[in-house]
Amino acid sequence: MKVSVFIATSLDGFIARPDGSLDWLPGSEDGEGGAEGEDHGWTAFWDSVDCLILGRKSFEKVLELAPGAWPYEGTRVIVLSSTRTTVPEALTGKIELRAPDPAALVEELRAEGHKRLYVDGGATIQAFLHRGLITDMTITLIPVLIGEGIPLFGPLAEDIPLKHIKSESFPSGLVQLLYEISRQ
């Protein structure tokens, strides 16, 4: 089973401004999320995902960005939160709330036969990465420096070696990097 990250960062490594704003992302102003009509491999990636694991803050950002709409219809979505106890009524039966226990969750989903998990949200990605659960990361570098914000990566107890799989640049100036986590 793959446990994957697919995320964009500013060139200086931030996934959002300090207040969680994504206004620096190409397409954020029109809600399309792409740059100059480029897909950046998103559709192929999404089509390979059978379960999305979101952190609470990312879940709340999705609700803010897509009010009244649920962009993940038809895909199993698990929201990890130690504080949120309810979901909006319109999403009852569409998402599962779980306490953050990445290793137990991955093992449970593996036993259920899932093939690819998509992990999203800064703290959630870091928690999975620190426990050695992430298998691959697709990181799209946005050509902008925002100076401060929420970092994709935080402090590490030890180095995490990566194996470069692919790099791709796009006419819009975005550069996408695909890495596998090297297991020693």
- How much is the pTM? 0.91
Instruction: Classify residue 183 by its DSSP letter.
Output: P
pLDDT score recorded for residue 35: 52
Delimit the domains of the chain by residue range.
2-181
Using DSSP bridges, classify how beta strands 136-142 and 116-120 pair: parallel, antiparallel or unpaired: unpaired
Output the average pLDDT for the chain: 91
pLDDT score recorded for residue 127: 95
Between residues 31 and 149, which one has the greater pLDDT? 149
Q: Give the percent of the chain with pLDDT over 90.
A: 76
Residue 38 pLDDT more than 50? yes
What is the 3-state composition of the chain as percent helix, strand, coil, each rounded to the nearest 5?
20, 30, 50
Rounded to an integer, the average pLDDT of 13-25 is: 94
Cβ neighbourhood burial of 73 (10 Å; 0-12, 13-18, 19+): exposed
Rounded to an integer, the average pLDDT of 101-129 is: 96
pLDDT score recorded for residue 100: 86
Residue 56 pLDDT more than 70? yes
Residue 31 pLDDT more than 80? no
Residue 170 pLDDT more than 80? yes
Please give the CATH superfamily to which domain 2-181 belongs: Dihydrofolate Reductase, subunit A (3.40.430.10)
pLDDT score recorded for residue 21: 92
Q: Do the beta carbons of residue 176 and residue 6 sit within 8 Å?
A: no
